[in-house]
Amino acid sequence: MIKSVSSLRKSLFLHIRTLQTFSKYNAQAASALREERKKPSYQYGDDEYADLDWDNLGFGLTPADYMYVMKCSKDGEFTRGELSPYGNIQLSPSAGVLNYGQAIYEGTKAYRKEDGKLVLFRPDHNAIRMKTGAERMLMPAPSVDQFVDAVKQTAFANKRWVPPAGKGSLYIRPLLMGSGPILGLGPAPEYTFIVYASPVGNYFKEGIAALNLYVEEEYVRAAPGGAGGVKSITNYAPVLKALSRAKSRGFSDVLYLDSAKKKYLEEASSCNVFVVKGRTISTPSTNGTILEGITRKSVMEIASDQGYQVVEKAVHVDEVMDADEVFCTGTAVGVAPVGTITYQDKRAEYKTGDESVCQSLRSVLVGIQTGLIEDNKGWVTGVN
């Protein structure tokens, strides 16, 4: 009986050792697999593309392989960031971003040229705008070099998700948020900077067809002294109700008026607005309630180069209804023509098509962004 028990113990011991060894090798294999998955996608062949229908890209989220993450230490300095597989992040329920909306974001794009090379459009201006927005929201921000480097790394690591030339772009979203926990109202004790990406086509479902806009009179987007002039996340949820209502009535987007008199044009839900009358192109002044769009700034310069008189001023809604053309600009929308605007009981129609001012400006901008037109302005930055 004693011998039998001893043999049983020995057998059990050997069995446990076997399980431990198997578990060890299994853990090593799992670790190796995780490391393999972390290998950047730029190790794939240069001619490899993700498996997508490039001819039918919309503006929906199709996460690319990798995102860039960088943390801000307590002394206000950002540590060295790194690429990691795209995925969920952990946040405390009391994170500043979740409770007090302390976050800002940017939007830029990577384009593929005909020769296959990737380029970015004025990412340094996105970096500067983020720093300005961060100051308004009492947040530290990455330096211009840190920002541009992060965007470059994200674009390069995800290059198989950059559409073929002329098929779209890789939309890149840098996001800065108060990730540290806090209960009382105040700035977060820690900040996280994340850059992720998604291949996209046209922002509006109409594609490059003309938009139909509705002038919103009940709701306002921003007020003097607020944060309408920075790309705060708190600017966007409040427009959803008016936008949803307009879309249910068949409109593409809404145009907001000033909060005081509700007679002067501000901007649409996610883009700036231009009004054309003869050889004059007017756009609302960025007086703290309107976002200083990078596409806006670029189009203004292109228009001046083409001999138009470009004016920043308070644009009365009556001027809009009497205009020859209206168009919208933004990183996501590009340069989008407006076909009609409805204000109260009036509906104005505008010139669109190949001979329009909008199309002329758009063709130059897209040409520079994609390398079809020589960049004499230093707007394009190479990725690889």
Q: Please list the residues that pair with 268 across neighbouring strands.
A: 255
**How far is the C-alpha of 63 from the C-alpha of 196, rounded, in Å?**
8
**How far is the C-alpha of 345 from the C-alpha of 127, rounded, in Å?**
42
Q: Please list the residues that pair with 248 across neighbouring strands.
A: none
User: Which of these is catalytic: 74, 205, 231, 262?
Assistant: 231
Q: Is 152 a catalytic residue?
A: no
79: which DSSP letter? P
| 116: region left, alpha or beta (phi > 0 left; psi from -120 to 50 alpha) | left
Amino acid, single-letter form, for residue 200 = V
**How far is the C-alpha of 274 from the C-alpha of 257, rounded, in Å?**
14
Which residues fall within 8 angstroms of residue 18, CB to CB, at 6 or more apart? none
Nearest to 330 by CA among 108, 49, 101: 108
**Do 197 and 151 contact (CB within 8 A), yes or no?**
no
Six token digits for residue 253: 């987007």
DSSP run (H or E) holding 362: helix 357-370
Which residues fall within 8 angstroms of residue 180, CB to CB, at 6 or more apart? 92, 95, 96, 188, 189, 190, 191
207: which DSSP letter? T
Six token digits for residue 381: 């930055």
Which residues fall within 8 angstroms of residue 285, CB to CB, at 6 or more apart? 312, 313, 314
Instruction: Give the position of tokens 């001046």.
Output: 304
**How far is the C-alpha of 132 from the C-alpha of 115, rounded, in Å?**
36
DSSP run (H or E) holding 27: helix 2-38
Six token digits for residue 330: 């933004």
Q: How far apart are the first and last CA of the chain?
A: 75
Six token digits for residue 277: 């009358």
- Which residues are marked as active site? 231
